[in-house]
Amino acid sequence: MLISEIFYSVQGEGTLVGVPSVFVRTSGCNLRCGWCDTPYASWKPEGDEMNVEAILEAVEACPTRFVVVTGGEPMVAKEMPLLLAKLREAGKHITIETAGTIAPDGVACDLASVSPKLAHSTPDEALAGKAWVEKHERLRLQPEVLRAWCSMYDFQLKFVVATEADVDEVRAVVNAIGVPPPPEKILLMPEGIKPEVLRLRQAWLVEVCKQTGWRYTPRLHIDLFGNQRGT
């Protein structure tokens, strides 16, 4: 499969924030988020073709049992079920970071980090083209697929939030899933790749979380390393 990068760092987002983890970033995505911070794995996929054995060897070289499979959208990779099965055999804790647009079909997973894409993710037609805008809009929210992820695994619903208006959309998405999740499993994360932008958004976002019981999640890797690849 096409692998953008494999690196060892700390988890920067979600319920496992701060945990040393090895990240396996696949290249390729079925969406085109306008603010995507990894365009090299989505808009213009790049990387190296690696077989499952080579990926496992790279993972085993890192001194942690925590593995984060991310993208791009990792679920578009045809060999993903095999890779996840081999990681499970190796005793790894597996987090899958996904937009929740492709059904899990029973793949090995310990934490489904599902990030449904809100309306502000839709790209500019001048940049992405009409076909991609239409595809993005058609695929970005699929309540039945989100419900499958949330019913099969321990999960977190991680929403990238840019404005206070996004909060109402988060509520609508959660309601559409049909099974009310515990509020602490609904994560709000400020959109942005610059510390000063994140600081501005986190101030009011924390207040939203205090009012709703939802969980605030930082972007720790931005605070520690900036918007750098391999972190």
What pairing do the DSSP bridges indicate for beta strands 111-114 and 66-70? unpaired
pLDDT per residue over 82-138, tens digit each?
999 999 999 999 999 999 999 999 999 999 999 999 999 999 999 999 999 999 999
Q: With contact defined as beta carbons under 8 Å apart, do 117 and 99 qualify?
A: yes
Q: Is the pLDDT at 225 greater than 90, yes or no?
A: no
Closest CA to 69 of 90, 94, 52, 87: 94
pLDDT per residue over 158-167, tens digit each?
999 999 999 9
pLDDT per residue over 126-159, tens digit each?
999 999 999 999 999 999 999 999 999 999 999 9
Strand segments (E) across 29-180: 48-49, 66-70, 93-98, 111-114, 155-161
**Confidence label for 194 from pLDDT (cuts 50, 70 and 90):** confident
With a pLDDT cut of 90, the percent of the chain lying above it is 88
pLDDT for residue 93: 99
- Give the CA dihedral 56, 61, 63, 67, nearest 10 degrees: -30
Burial class (CB in 10 A: 0-12, 13-18, 19+), 191: buried
CA 23 remoteness from chain centre: 12
**What global pTM score does this model have?**
0.95
pLDDT for residue 19: 98
Instruction: Supply 148's token pair.
Output: 């499958």
Closest CA to 229 of 84, 97, 70, 86: 70
Mean pLDDT for the stretch of residues 34-40: 94
Which has the minimum average pLDDT: 20-24, 150-154, 174-178, 220-224? 220-224
Give the domains, in start order, of the chain with CATH numbers.
2-159 (3.20.20.70)
pLDDT for residue 228: 83
